[in-house]
Structure 1
Amino acid sequence: MRYTADVVVTTTDGHVLLIERGWDPHKGMWALPGGHVDPGETSRAAAARELREEAGVYAAPADLLRLGVWDSPGRDPRGRYVTVAYRLTVLPGTIIEPGDDAVRAEWWPLTDLPRLAFDHAEILRTVAPASALNQTA
């Protein structure tokens, strides 16, 4: 089993931060910033680190609010992955800079989302009602 952390970063005006994945699985698809928890690291610290590495957004681990745990057996094609997702709200205009395995980082309106990798649409539903989320194919 692998242990990961993801971050839902939203702006106060209804946008969410997504990164375009630079490699498989789901290369070229959009996803929440996140990644593996390193040995000796908490999931909250990993979430803050991955957010910084993939999108250039700096947040103290204590500023990340835990949303929950996602552990469906088929959520990742590489095998058994369990993720803890966190939430951060920022002001519109927060600067983002892609890095690490992110090809691009962009703010997307919650009402007009691309198709998302993994189960990230399910994670997003915890912060926005399904009726507000619109994923395009």
Structure 2
Amino acid sequence: MGTRETVRLTADVVAFAPHRGVLHVLLIRRGFEPFAGRWALPGGHVDAGEQVETAARRELAEETGIAVDALRLVGFYTAPGRDPRGRYVTGAYTTVLPDMPAPVAADDATAARWLPVSDALATGLAFDHAQIIRDALKEN
């Protein structure tokens, strides 16, 4: 038998919106380690008894003040080492909004803003969030 490891479940949201012909993505600046100060997708831990999609919607609202109804699953990200705190599996969801509502950073986000996707991918995002954004682009 192999060694056991605790696996934690999280949910992330890739929210896109067009602005003046350029696709933007909603990001938050992390307030805590790991990756404190880096841009990341809104997301966080799934609470006990909570569905992953429900957690994604909740985390988006808690960290940015933006509520959405429709989310589509991008996929589950399971690679060992994707989070330096231990084994984390995330369910990533995407949505496309018709415009860019003003985000309000809260919870453990120190800032929230819309960035052009190309700029976001060039900033050195936390975790494997650049890959999640690239995968979500294929879904939209």
Q: TM-score, structure 1 length as denominator? A: 0.89
Could you tell me how far 1:27 is from its partner in structure 2?
0.3
Residue 38, structure 1, aligned to residue 47, structure 2: yes
Picking from 84, 95, 99, the partner of 1:88 is 95
Residue 17, structure 1, aligned to residue 1, structure 2: no
Quick check: 79-88 or 107-116, which moved more? 107-116
Could you tell me how far 1:12 is from its partner in structure 2?
2.8
Percent of pairs identical after alignment? 50
Picking from 16, 38, 47, the partner of 1:29 is 38
Measured on the aligned residues, the alpha-carbon RMSD in Å equals 1.1
Correspondence list, 1:1-137, <5 A: 1-13=7-19, 14-60=23-69, 63-113=70-120, 114-128=123-137
Helix, strand or coil for the counterpart of 1:24?
coil
Pairs aligned (count) = 127
Helix, strand or coil for the counterpart of 2:53?
helix
Could you tell me how far 1:110 is from its partner in structure 2?
0.8
Helix, strand or coil for the counterpart of 1:112?
helix
Could you tell me how far 1:88 is from its partner in structure 2?
1.0
CA distance in 1, matches of 2:100, 2:79: 34
Aligned residue identity for 1:45 = T
Aligned residue identity for 2:88 = Y
Deviations 1:9-56 (A, max 9, x none): 000340000000001111000000000000010000000000000010
CA distance in 1, matches of 2:107, 2:51: 20
Helix, strand or coil for the counterpart of 1:67?
strand
Asked if the contact 2:100–2:114 (Cα under 8 Å) also holds between the matched residues in 1, the reply is no
Q: TM-score, structure 2 length as denominator? A: 0.87
Deviations 1:76-104 (A, max 9, x none): 00000000000011122312110000000
